[in-house]
Amino acid sequence: MFKGHDMDANCVKLQSTWHAGIPVAAAMGVEVAGFADDELVVRAGLDPNINVHGTAFAGSLYSIAALAGWGLAWLKLRDAGFDGRIVLAEGHIQYLTAVAEDVVCRCRFDPELHGPKLAALARSSRTTLRLHCEIDAGGGPAVRFEGLYAIRKR
């Protein structure tokens, strides 16, 4: 579906973790569409997330973006060989335009910015990652989300 984004065992595990541990993620139809080049792509159909106006419900958009950031942190933790607890400590969202199509959210890990924060887990039991996610609709940005994820190494 998304050229250049390959599904691997970690993506399958991430999606099953969401669906088993966060029941609303399954009800919303949130799925991992791909992960490559430090970018996680998450998808959810419009139908289970629709509001009375025929567009995506704002709460669904927030949840999908928050899950995308959490999922990216989870994948990068696994890539670095760490196991940890990840919580959304702070989230900010901008709704720029209505989303009247399936929701596709992209979240990117910047190795220069985020790499040192993740590497800090080798010396410490805690770190934070500030991640940015974006949902496009109609050919342009529709939603911008910024989440601060607190991570505690197990």
pLDDT 10s digits, 70-90: 999 999 999 999 999 999 999
**Counting Cβ atoms within 10 Å, is residue 90 exposed (0-12), middle (13-18) or buried (19+)?**
exposed
Any idea how long the chain is?
A: 154
Considering the segment(s) 9-153 as one domain, its CATH architecture is Roll (3.10)
pLDDT of amino acid 122: 87
Q: How confident is the model at residue 148 (pLDDT cuts 50, 70, 90)?
A: very high
Residue 101 has phi, psi (to 5 degrees) of -150, 175
pLDDT 10s digits, 1-41: 333 344 589 999 999 999 999 999 999 999 999 999 999 99
CA dist 75 and 58 (Å) reads: 26
CA dist 111 and 9 (Å) reads: 22
DSSP label at residue 139? T
Percent of the chain at pLDDT > 90 equals: 92
CA dist 129 and 114 (Å) reads: 6
Longest alpha-carbon distance in the chain? 50
pLDDT of amino acid 7: 59
CA dist 148 and 131 (Å) reads: 6
Q: How many CB atoms lie within 10 A of CB 126?
A: 12
pTM: 0.93
